[in-house]
Amino acid sequence: MENIKPTRSELMKLKNRIKLAKSGYNLLKKKRDGLILEFFEILKKAKTVRQELTEEYKTAVYTGNIARTVEGDVQVQSVALAVKEAPALQLNSRNIMGVVVPKISYEKKEKSFDRGYGTIANSAVIDEASMSYEKVVLKVIEAAEIETGIKKLLTEIEKTKRRVNALEFEIIPKLDINRKFIQMRLDEMDRENVFRMKRIKK
């Protein structure tokens, strides 16, 4: 170890690396904390949407059973097969602190004749059941968007946490140990030079 002769420029480079590492550490900590806050906000929304989806599904099953009782299974199945169109979806994305999450927009169908069957030949109970199941489909789309966003945020939070921990417990401490060692060797070299100069003068 005594044979190692570091230079002042090496010490300066190491100090700059430590400064850069600490700056990166602070930024990553802020990002991690911000992502966690966003995660819990979306998680609350997800809980609400799940509850709404459960309620919409219960209503759809109830109205569907009424339609089957009033009109019969054959008529209900015939109406179901007449539906040709699915909700018109448009996939976009949004950025949450550097994390790209999906954003799904859709066109709501408000008129019963858009479902592929006429209202004249069908009773109000079938129309009500159709509307109930449409609400379920749209709520499923909303839930899928939120759930995907949660998974992406969780992945990014874990990745950021690993980087923060690596900087805090491995990279910065090792750099600091190297800095202290170089500083100590430079101080020793300075003392040796002073002692040598004194001997030369004598």
Cβ within 8 Å of residue 99, ≥6 positions away = 35, 152, 153, 156
Residue with tokens 């550097």: 98
Q: Are 46 and 147 in contact (CB under 8 A)?
A: yes
- Tell me whether residue 140 is exposed, middle or buried, using C-beta atoms within 10 angstroms of its C-beta: 0 to 12, 13 to 18, 19 or more: middle
Is residue 76 in a domain? yes
Residue type, 174: K
Residue 112 pLDDT class (50, 70, 90 cuts): very low
Is residue 152 in a domain? yes
- Please count the structural domains in the chain: 1
Domain of residue 112 covers 8-193
Q: Is the pLDDT assigned to residue 174 strictly greater than 80?
A: yes
- Tell me whether residue 130 is exposed, middle or buried, using C-beta atoms within 10 angstroms of its C-beta: 0 to 12, 13 to 18, 19 or more: buried
Is residue 3 in a domain? no
Q: Return the CATH number at 146.
A: 1.10.287.3240
Interatomic CA distance for residues 89 and 18, integer angstroms: 49
pLDDT digits (tens, 9 = 90+) for 125-167: 988 998 999 899 899 999 999 999 999 999 999 999 999 999 9
Q: Are 175 and 18 in contact (CB under 8 A)?
A: yes
Q: Is the pLDDT assigned to residue 118 strictly greater than 80?
A: no
pTM, entire model: 0.76
Interatomic CA distance for residues 147 and 158, integer angstroms: 17
Is residue 202 in a domain? no
Please give the C-alpha separations between residue 192 and each of 157, 186, 188, in angstroms, as whole numbers. 51, 10, 6
Is residue 184 in a domain? yes
pLDDT digits (tens, 9 = 90+) for 39-62: 999 999 999 999 999 999 999 999
pLDDT digits (tens, 9 = 90+) for 142-153: 999 999 999 999
* 3-class SS string, the chain: CCCCCCCHHHHHHHHHHHHHHHHHHHHHHHHHHHHHHHHHHHHHHHHHHHHHHHHHHHHHHHHHHHHHHHHCHHHHHHHHHHCCCCCCEEEEEEEECCEEEEEEEECCCCCHHHHCCCCCCCCHHHHHHHHHHHHHHHHHHHHHHHHHHHHHHHHHHHHHHHHHHHHHHHHHHHHHHHHHHHHHHHHHHHHHHHHHHHHHHC
Is residue 200 in a domain? no
Interatomic CA distance for residues 150 and 101, integer angstroms: 9
Is residue 2 in a domain? no
pLDDT digits (tens, 9 = 90+) for 57-110: 999 999 999 999 998 888 888 887 877 666 677 888 888 888 888 888 776 554
Is residue 113 in a domain? yes
Q: Is the pLDDT assigned to residue 2 strictly greater than 60?
A: no
